Structure 1
Amino acid sequence: MKAYSQPVVTGVITAVVGFAGAFTIVLAGLEGIGATTSQAASGLMVLCLTQGVVAIWLGVRYRMPISIAWSTPGAALLATAGHVEGGYAAVLGAFVFTGALLVIAGLSRRLGRWIAAIPVSLASAMLAGVLLPLCLAPARAAADLPGLALPVIAVWLIMTRVARRYAVPAALVATAAVVLLDPGAGAAVGDDLFPGLSFVTPTVEPQTLVGIGLPLFLVTMASQNIPGMGVLASFGYRPHLRPVLTTTGAGTIVGAPFGGHAINLAAITAALAAGPDADPDPSRRWVASVTAGAVYVVIGLGAGLATALIAACPPLLVQAVAGLALVGALAGALATALASEDHRDAAIVTLVTCASGITAFGVSSAFWGLLAGLAVLGLRRLPTRG
């Protein structure tokens, strides 16, 4: 057992960092589509449970450090979705639709090729447009809630210089401190610390399937699954994509009625479990991802405490912390979106349309942004008469 102590410790760190760095984004996303506090806690819990179980299964089955996470860009998409046709139940139906698309992508080579054919620059621009409104929240919070937001931002800035990996967890600790010191917040913490899963029957609303379900699938594939495979390949692991997509898709379908939006390959924290810091021997690193999965299951049981803390915060402060957690992702998405000069105009059109937050015919801006970018790219490729 001593031989596996290093990957076990790394697995614990992977889960704690992954959860602390992004759970506020999940809660902000669920709140954005109309979930109550208990439903948001249920969504966070079921995401931890499903991704934990899938990570354990894949790691044990294939003996590879296949880390599973929730779709952080997908949660950001929900946070900026605005009014949704059909309400919360219809959004859960869109989550089921997203899971079904993930399963189909795993079983169908043609659909996988279609997704891969979307230019990386436009997929990144769509992601940047989804993230931008949340990343503006720290600036708004600094102006509107300076006593609460500025200490949190200061801690985050200092930690990005001292220990970048722990900048977001440190900002969360600072958030807890300022909330608990706020006389009006203390009473809100401690009501439902151990909630159960909250089941809501999903409904089918075609506009919501297109406006939420399809963009959620696209950002999950483009921003999580494809980069996640790249991270694993960089460390010498090449798992088949089919079982990854079918199991995460099935997990998404199972979790959807309880508020879970999507699970997928981890992209950022994947490097912790797959890299040499997990274990010098690559054949033992799968223990790290399996341990992370087990820790996620345990953390999920404490989702009520995390949700109660966030419920005690002003909504703008929650968005600010989520925005701080997404700054790095926004920077990476912008760099990729604008890297190609030939695609730059189309990428900008995609970005600004997605960031606009418009809803047309009940369909959200993420879908229209990608469609607009593809249209601009198509027009540029048309032959000109000379």
Structure 2
Amino acid sequence: MDRRSVIKNAGLAGILAAGVAPAVHAQAAVRWRLASSFPKSLDTIFGAAEVFGEKVKKMSGGKFEISIHAAGELMPAFGVVDGVQQGSVEAAHTAPYYFFGKDECFALGCAIPFGLNSRQMTAWMYDGNGLKLMREFYAKYSMISFPGGNTGAQMGGWYRKEIKSVKDIKGLKMRIGGFAGKVLERMGGVPQNIPGGEIYPALEKGTIDAAEWVGPYDDLKLGFNKVAPYYYYPGWWEGGPQLDFFVNQKAFDALSAENKAIIEAAASEAHVVMQARYDARNPNALRQLVAAKTQLRPFPQDVLTEAFKQSMGLYEEIGAKNESWKKIYADYSKFRGDQNLWFRFTEATFDRFMQAQKL
């Protein structure tokens, strides 16, 4: 029997009657849950997880759906890594440096003081050894990572009083994300790791003296300018903080090859969309903050110098006792040096000229 002629000339009944079964590759529906570390009100960061979920559903024709849950809905903002590791949820969207208390290496997957900027971080991840090295590390926690967004270089935060010199850092109680708190502590400050949704009341009540979050767009929404007048820059601890999608390794391994590719593609789109939104929205938000009497201030040079010195000392100390850090940071540091050499002649020079023009 000529199989091709039967299929071409017969209807379904004829095919079945001839004993020729059509190939069927129907995939079972997949339903996951994702726990975010962020509130829904922050449409830039939380929104990246929504972009991820929407793309997964669209690319799978609705057969793979991921429900997105804000911080506190399924678990606390800082409980998402445990949730993924234990399989309570299949995925999470978070800033890895929140979990430096488990191991300092989490910070290398997000941002460290005086580290890579956003473009350099993406380059390290996608064309350097970053993704390989970080996935080797995250495997200890039974999860696999996918780059899930970047804010770009951040602002240096909101202060109730002026910072005139490095002396003003001593005793300063500051909400500061992740790993940077270690440097602030070495400078005499008192770091506080507080979720985004809880920063405003702490600053308003004076429980803390200063707080940083991301930049103008988010900070305006959170209203920090109403309780702290001084807005400093740059955020030397966050030159290019990357967020990640963490996926439970067993859950990922159970996916079809097609769904694995969908996860990777959807995460990449969310990665690009997040920074695009920040870059597009921050300028107007900064104008609004200045119009509302926000006092913009650059950090004094001695603050930056001391912070840099303490950061480099800290990395050396950690490397002496943490083999994983030593391995990853060696690669990170070399990549950073190469990138800064290149950017010095191109991006930085071009940017300085353009920013001096009155366009």
TM normalised by structure 1 equals 0.31
Greater RCO structure (CA 8 Å; 6+ sep): 1
Who wins on radius of gyration, i.e. which is larger? 2
Report the structure, 1 or 2, having the larger strand content: 2
